[in-house]
C-alpha cells in the first residue's frame, strides 16, 4: 500500500491523541524514488547527575578511539562507538570566591552563567541551552521542550553558601529570572504526551480515567486498525512494536503506582503517584524521553537524575549511606569505592536509555543516531567541588555530524559552553556566543 501519511498523523479517541513514530509511509515517494531519505530531525537531551564522580574511574588513560573503558563507563561497552567523550571541559566562573559548591555549579550547568548570590526572589542566571533551542525550534513540535526529573524542585531557602535552593534544583532557565519547573511523575508526563483523559459524567467539567481498568489504546482501537490496513508490511511491524511499547509502559506505570515499596529514603519527599522503586522511577522517566523523541513531540529535553547535593541512599546496590555524604570522602578509599559503585549504577541506567534509543529504527538510521544525549555533572570530584574537569559525555552522532567512539582531551579551562555552541549548530540554532563560550568545540576531529 504505502500511501503517503502525514508526519503529524495521530490516532484519536475520546480524550486521547496518540502520536506516531516516523513510518516509511511518512517519507514522500519522490524522496524514496531519488534513493535518499527524508532526514529525521536532530534532538538533544541534557541529563544532569549530582555530586560529581570518582574521576580516576571515569577518565580513560589514552586519547583517540575508545578501546578499554574505565570502570565507571564499562556498562557502555556495547555502545562505545556511539559515545563522544570530551574531558577537561570546565565551568571557569564557578571558581569565584564565595561561590557555593553546588548552587554555583548546578545553576550554571546549562547556562554558562554565574548565578546571582541570593536566597530571595531576586534570582539572576542566564538562559539555558535547552531553552535557547526551544525558543528557536520549539514551534516545530507540540512541546517546545520538556523538563523532567526524579526529585521535586525547591523554590525557597538557603541550600548552599547564601544561594537559593532554586539554583540547586533547576537546570532549565527560560529567561535570566525564570527557572522552569520539572515534572517528576511518570503518569503526569505520559498523560501530557498522549492527551490521556476521558470525559467525566454529564454535567461535570474536566476529564479523568481509571488507569487500572482502561488503557488509552482502548480508545483508539478502531483508528489503529484502519491505519494498520493502509500500511505496508514494514510499517505495520513498526506500528505494532510502537503500540506494544506504549501499552507496556502504561502497564508499568500503573503497577508502580499500586506498589507500596519505597527505596532510597524518599518516604517523606516522594509525591503521590511517583514509583517507590527509584530505579523503576528513573527508567520510566527515561521511557517518557524516548516516546517524546520517537513521536517528535519535542526535540529538547532537560532531565535532573537528582538535585544538587542529593543525599539518597542506594540500598539496591548495597549502599545505605547518603550519596552526598559519601561524596565528601576526605580521601577515604572505602568511600571512593562506594561513590564509584553509585557512579557506575547511574551509567547502567544511562545504558538502558541509550539502548532503547538505538533499538528504534528511523529512516536509514536509529533514533540514537539522530540525537545528542549529553550526560554529566557540574563538577568532578565531589570532595572539593572542582569545576575544572567535568565528567561529560555525548551519546549519538547528531544526525551523523559528530565523530563518535572517541576520547578527546580539551585544552585546560575550555568552557562547557563551547560544546553547547556546537550542539546548537546541529539543531539549527547557530549563535555567535552562548554563556561564557570562547569558541566552538570541534566534534568532528
Q: For residue 104, what are the contacts with CB-CB under 8 A and spacing of at least 6? A: 91, 94, 96, 114, 115, 160, 163, 167, 387
Q: What is the pLDDT of residue 289?
A: 98
DSSP code, position 314: B
Q: 348 with 397, same domain?
A: yes
H-state helical runs in 138-204:
165-169, 186-194
The three-state secondary structure class of 288 is: helix
Decide if 281 is inside a domain.
Answer: no
Q: Which segments of 222-319 are extended strands (E)?
A: 300-304
Q: What is the pLDDT of residue 197?
A: 55
Separation between Cα atoms, residue 340 and residue 318, nearest integer Å: 13
Residue 416, Cβ density class (10 Å: 0-12 exposed, 13-18 middle, ≥19 buried):
buried
Nearest to 364 by CA among 79, 35, 45: 35
- In this structure, the strands spanning 371-376 and 392-395 are antiparallel
- In this structure, the strands spanning 406-415 and 83-90 are parallel
Q: What is the pLDDT of residue 205?
A: 41
Q: 308 with 404, same domain?
A: yes
Report how many domains make up the chain. Answer: 2
Decide if 316 is inside a domain.
Answer: yes
Could you identify the residue written with the cell 573503558?
69
The three-state secondary structure class of 356 is: helix
The series of mean pLDDT values per 10 residues for the chain, 445 residues long, is 77 88 78 54 97 96 97 98 98 79 90 93 96 97 97 85 91 97 95 70 44 77 92 93 95 82 42 78 97 97 95 95 95 96 98 98 95 96 91 98 98 96 98 97 93
Could you identify the residue written with the cell 528557536?
136
**Bridge partner residues of 374 (DSSP):** 46, 394
Q: What is the pLDDT of residue 320?
A: 96
Decide if 278 is inside a domain.
Answer: no
Cβ atoms of 220 and 13 closer than 8 Å = yes
Separation between Cα atoms, residue 330 and residue 328, nearest integer Å: 6
Q: 88 with 50, same domain?
A: yes
Q: What is the pLDDT of residue 264?
A: 38
Decide if 116 is inside a domain.
Answer: yes
Reported pTM: 0.92
All three cell numbers of 280, joined, read 523503576
All three cell numbers of 232, joined, read 505496508
Q: 95 with 143, same domain?
A: yes
- CATH (domain of 332): 3.40.720
Q: 374 with 439, same domain?
A: yes
Q: 9 with 127, same domain?
A: no
Q: Say how many CA atoms lie within 13 Å of 359 toward its Cβ.
A: 12
Q: 79 with 177, same domain?
A: yes
Q: What is the pLDDT of residue 196?
A: 62
Q: 68 with 162, same domain?
A: yes
Q: The domain containing residue 230 runs over which residues? A: 1-38+185-273
Q: 126 with 22, same domain?
A: no
Q: 355 with 442, same domain?
A: yes
Cβ atoms of 100 and 267 closer than 8 Å = no
Separation between Cα atoms, residue 379 and residue 101, nearest integer Å: 9
Decide if 289 is inside a domain.
Answer: no
Residue 60, Cβ density class (10 Å: 0-12 exposed, 13-18 middle, ≥19 buried):
middle
**Bridge partner residues of 208 (DSSP):** 198
Decide if 7 is inside a domain.
Answer: yes
Decide if 280 is inside a domain.
Answer: no
Inter-CA distances, 404 with 196, 341, 445, Å: 38, 26, 9
Q: For residue 403, what are the contacts with CB-CB under 8 A and spacing of at least 6? A: 84, 397, 443, 444, 445
Q: 335 with 442, same domain?
A: yes
Angle, helices 221-230/233-258, rounded to nearest 10 degrees = 160
Q: What is the pLDDT of residue 189?
A: 96
Separation between Cα atoms, residue 102 and residue 281, nearest integer Å: 24
Q: 102 with 233, same domain?
A: no
Inter-CA distances, 368 with 278, 301, 355, 375, Å: 25, 14, 8, 14
Amino acid at each position: 500500500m504505502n500511501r503517503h501519511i502525514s508526519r503529524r498523523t495521530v490516532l484519536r479517541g475520546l480524550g486521547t491523541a496518540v502520536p506516531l513514530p516516523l513510518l516509511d509511509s511518512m517519507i514522500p515517494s519522490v524522496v524514496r524514488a531519488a534513493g535518499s531519505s527524508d532526514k529525521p530531525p536532530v534532538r538533544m537531551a541534557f541529563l544532569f547527575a549530582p555530586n560529581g564522580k570518582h574521576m580516576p574511574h571515569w577518565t580513560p588513560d589514552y586519547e583517540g578511539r575508545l578501546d578499554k573503558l574505565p570502570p565507571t563507563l564499562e556498562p557502555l561497552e556495547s555502545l562505545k562507538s556511539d559515545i563522544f567523550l570530551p574531558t577537561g571541559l570546565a565551568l571557569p566562573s564557578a571558581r569565584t570566591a564565595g561561590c557555593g559548591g553546588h548552587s554555583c555549579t548546578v545553576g550554571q550547568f546549562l547556562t554558562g552563567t554565574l548565578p546571582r548570590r541570593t536566597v530571595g526572589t531576586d534570582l539572576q542566571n542566564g538562559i539555558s541551552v535547552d531553552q535557547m533551542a526551544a525558543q528557536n525550534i520549539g514551534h516545530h513540535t507540540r512541546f517546545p521542550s520538556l523538563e523532567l526529573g526524579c526529585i521535586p524542585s525547591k523554590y525557597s531557602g538557603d541550600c548552599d553558601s547564601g544561594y537559593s535552593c532554586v539554583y540547586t534544583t533547576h537546570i532549565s532557565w527560560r529567561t535570566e529570572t525564570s527557572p522552569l519547573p520539572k515534572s517528576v511523575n511518570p503518569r503526569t508526563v505520559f498523560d501530557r504526551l498522549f492527551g490521556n483523559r476521558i470525559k467525566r459524567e454529564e454535567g461535570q467539567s474536566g476529564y479523568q480515567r481509571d488507569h487500572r481498568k482502561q488503557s488509552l489504546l482502548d480508545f483508539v482501537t478502531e483508528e489503529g486498525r484502519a491505519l494498520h490496513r493502509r500500511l505496508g508490511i514494514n510499517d505495520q511491524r513498526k506500528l505494532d512494536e510502537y503500540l506494544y511499547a506504549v501499552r507496556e509502559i502504561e502497564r508499568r506505570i500503573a503497577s508502580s503506582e499500586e506498589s507500596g515499596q519505597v527505596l532510597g529514603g524518599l518516604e517523606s519527599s516522594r509525591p503521590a503517584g511517583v514509583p517507590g522503586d527509584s530505579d523503576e522511577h528513573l527508567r520510566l522517566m527515561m521511557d517518557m524521553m524516548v516516546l517524546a523523541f520517537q513521536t517528535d513531540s519535542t526535540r529538547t529535553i532537560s532531565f535532573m537524575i537528582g538535585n544538587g547535593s542529593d543525599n539518597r541512599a542506594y540500598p539496591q546496590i548495597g549502599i545505605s549511606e547518603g550519596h552526598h555524604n559519601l561524596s565528601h570522602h576526605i580521601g577515604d578509599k572505602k568511600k571512593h569505592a562506594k561513590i564509584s559503585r553509585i557512579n557506575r549504577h547511574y551509567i547502567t541506567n544511562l545504558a538502558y536509555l541509550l539502548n532503547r534509543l538505538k533499538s528504534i529504527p528511523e529512516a536509514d538510521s536509529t533514533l540514537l543516531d539522530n540525537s545528542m544525549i549529553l550526560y554529566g555533572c557540574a563538577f568532578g570530584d565531589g570532595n572539593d567541588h572542582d569545576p575544572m574537569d567535568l565528567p561529560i559525555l555525548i551519546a549519538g552522532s547528531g544526525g551523523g555530524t559528530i565523530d563518535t567512539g572517541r576520547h578527546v582531551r580539551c585544552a585546560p579551562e575550555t568552557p562547557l559552553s563551547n560544546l553547547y555552541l556546537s550542539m546548537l549548530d546541529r539543531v539549527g540554532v547557530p549563535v555567535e556566543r552562548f554563556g561564557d563560550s570562547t569558541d566552538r568545540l570541534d566534534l568532528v576531529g
